[in-house]
Structure 1
Amino acid sequence: MINFNGSLVNDSIELFNANNRAFKYGDALFETIKVENFKVHFLEDHYFRLMASMRMLRMEIPMIFTLEYFENEIINTVKSNNLENARVRLTVFRNNGGFYAPVSNETSYLIEASDLNYGLKDIYILDVFKDYYVYSGLLSTIKTTNKITNVLASIYAEENNIDNCILLNEKKYVVEAINGNIFIIKDNIIKTPPITEGCIKGVMRKKIIEMLSKSDNYSIEEIAISPFELQKADEVFITNSIIGIQPVTKYKKSIFKTSIGRELSLKIKDLV
């Protein structure tokens, strides 16, 4: 079952036609959300990021789209699929009409829930994707459905039997991984690219920065990172809302430790 504008319908029903703006222009946003035991992880962070992104894209926000409404519709969708733990995707898109210029800024939404099937890998290999770049502008920091660079990097990763790729911006600095933000550790300093490099404003990224800002053991820096700097790191890890923290074990010829990443992963669970 899927949730289309508050109505639960069978996922085999055709909902869209060729005029759908998400299909024609990528005129859409999405959130990927983790639900465990019918609890939405980091609900407020996902909600406020979505609202801020909709305002950036000049989408009208429905009056009913409160945080409580958002939570109830997610849980209803999860329950309708006989799930208790789920990976949820909420997509918001501008309604049909117009060419590049829409006839209206009114929106619709779709909520999908699937089985929460994931696990951290003990061996995790990373490489850099150089064919195309992510532009370091503000639009790159929000989760639109314009993800062709991520698609091509994923194909590259599969073809080369690696787990993930680093995406670079036009300045050839590290932006993020295909499916999450990236952090590197050297001694007790943990670095991650700043938003100005074009990385997604990840919910898990935000939580880790908040946690490390209060830490006595580590310091956090949001700073531009060269791909060469990764080879000198002690540890590297990738974050997103589903996996939490995935330690990287290898990048090119560098082999990384994973102890700090795993330690932080346990601490993140306490924040839920």
Structure 2
Amino acid sequence: MQLQKLVYTEDHLQLINRAFLYGDAVWVSFFVRNGQLIMAEESYFFLMASMRKMRMNIPLSYTLEFFQALFEREVLEKGIRNGIIQMMAYRKQEEKPLPKSATAFYFEVEESEDILGIQGDIELDLIKEINVNANLLSNIRVHSAENIYATIYAKENDLDDVILLNPNKKIARSIFGNLLFLQDNVIKIPKQTEGAYISPLMENFVTFVHKNKLADIEEAEIIAFESQKAEEILRISDEKGVHSVSKIRNKTFANNRFTEMVTKWKASFDEHQTN
């Protein structure tokens, strides 16, 4: 069966808009699993928080119910069973002063495998030429020249992703998501104050692990060398899903324990959907 890809724009997409001209936009993901929206409330509140951080005018019509009905009509009823809805909210290019500019949105969704399952293994390396900031806007998905540079660097070096550091040489995140480092019974996660993304998908996983006492969770400042000390590494990306890290430079990593945790996490959603 051929997988679908859908694209939706609110009203008519203006080619001359502030997202196109200035990167004046935010990206947030919504998740479809087994023909249902999951974590919709968490994604919606992250969308509202991201728009507020970018000082966007949020229309009164942008309610959780509005987006649930929209995705039901434009995604689920068109046969998408599993996938990630990549939604971009942006400021229109208008004569009005910026704070009063109207906002619009665009989204696309490509059908995929179960977004809660491990999609496969990826290979990373550290990039030292650039770093990412650690401020109010570093935690949300906004235009990032650093991401563009790092994406090209990764492709030129046959990598799937790279580890990005902040100005203090601590691990912030990867291009596409957050990194979780497992050693003994502790999962270390870079702090948001270090430049890590806010991620509804990762937060749901970490909460499940904590509640079920599968490992201890530690938000920490992590130096680059610690990536080599980890026994297993997981990348959770709201954009691309869940992947285990198989290799960084010359070191290879197992994925047994994270695979077991992710399997239990996925099963908890199956139990919820059948009840």
TM-score, with structure 1 as normaliser: 0.87
Shift of residue 91, structure 1, vs aligned partner? 1.0
Take 1:163 and 1:60, find their aligned partners in 2: how far apart are those partners?
Answer: 36
Q: Which residue does the alignment assign to 2:40?
A: 43
User: 1:130: which partner in 2?
Assistant: 128
The Cα shift of 1:165 comes to 0.7
**Which 10-residue stretch deviates more, 127-136 or 89-98?**
89-98
Aligned position for 1:115: 111
Change (3 A) 1:268 1:216: closer
- Counterpart in 2 of 1:64? 61
Matched, 1:228 2:225: yes
Number of residues paired by the alignment? 262
1:17 match: secondary structure: coil
Residue type at the aligned position of 1:102? L
TM-superposed CA distance for 1:67, in Å, is 0.8
Q: 1:86 to 1:248 in 2, by over 3 A?
A: closer
Deviation per residue, 1:177-235 (Å, 9 max, x gap)? 11111010111111000110111101122112212332434111000111101111111
Structure 2 distance, partners of 1:85, 1:121, is 13
- SS state of the match for residue 132, structure 1? coil
Once the two structures are superposed, the pairs formed by residues 71-86 of structure 1 within 5 Å of their partners are 71-79=68-76, 82-86=79-83
Query: Deviation per CA, 1:86-115, whole angstroms, max 9, x where unpaired?
Result: 33111111121369x626242111122222
SS of the aligned residue for 2:244 comes to strand
Letter of the 1:31 counterpart: V
Given that 2:55 and 2:99 are in contact with CA atoms closer than 8 Å, whether structure 1 keeps it comes out as no
Greater Cα offset, 188-197 or 109-118 = 109-118
Deviations along 1:216-255, one digit per CA (max 9) or x if unpaired, are: 3411100011110111111111012365431111112222
**Structure 1 residue 80 displacement after superposition:** 6.7
What is the percent sequence identity of the aligned residues?
A: 32
Q: Which shifted more, 200-209 or 75-84? A: 75-84
Relative to structure 1, the CA distance from residue 194 to residue 188 in structure 2 (aligned partners, 3 Å threshold; closer, same or farther) is: same
Matched-pair contact (CA < 8 Å) for 1:21–1:97: no
Distance 1:82 1:122, change over 3 A: closer
Offset of residue 58 of structure 1: 1.8
The structural deviation recorded for 1:159 is 1.0
Query: Is 2:107 the counterpart of 1:102?
Result: no
Shift of 1:16: 1.6
How large is the RMSD of aligned CA atoms in angstroms? 2.3
C-alpha distance 39-121 of structure 1, shift in aligned 2 (>3 A): closer
1:123/1:217 CA distance change after superposition, 3 Å: closer
What's the CA shift for 1:2? 3.5
**Any idea what SS the aligned residue of 1:91 has?**
strand
Displacement of 1:83 in angstroms is 3.0
Distance 1:211 1:85, change over 3 A: closer
Cα displacement (A) at 1:82: 4.5
8 A Cα contact 2:118 2:259, kept in partner: no
Question: Which consecutive unaligned segments of at least 5 residues does structure 1 have?
Answer: 8-13
Letter of the 1:43 partner, please give it: A
Question: How far apart are the structure 2 equivalents of 1:157 and 1:86?
Answer: 24
Asked whether 1:267 is paired with 2:272, we answer: no
Counterpart of 1:267, as a letter, is K
2:8 alignment partner AA? N
Preserved contact between residue 92 and residue 110 of structure 1 (Cα < 8 Å):
yes
Is residue 205–residue 240 contact of structure 1 (8 Å, CA) maintained in 2?
yes
TM-score, normalising length from structure 2? 0.86
CA drift of 1:136 comes to: 0.8
Moved more, 120-129 or 46-55: 120-129
Q: 1:2 to 1:217 in 2, by over 3 A?
A: closer
1:4 lines up with 2:33 in the alignment: no
Matched, 1:163 2:168: no
Closer, same or farther in 2 for the Cα pair 1:105/1:15, shift >3 Å? closer
Q: Indicate which of 170, 174, 178 corresponds to 1:173.
A: 170
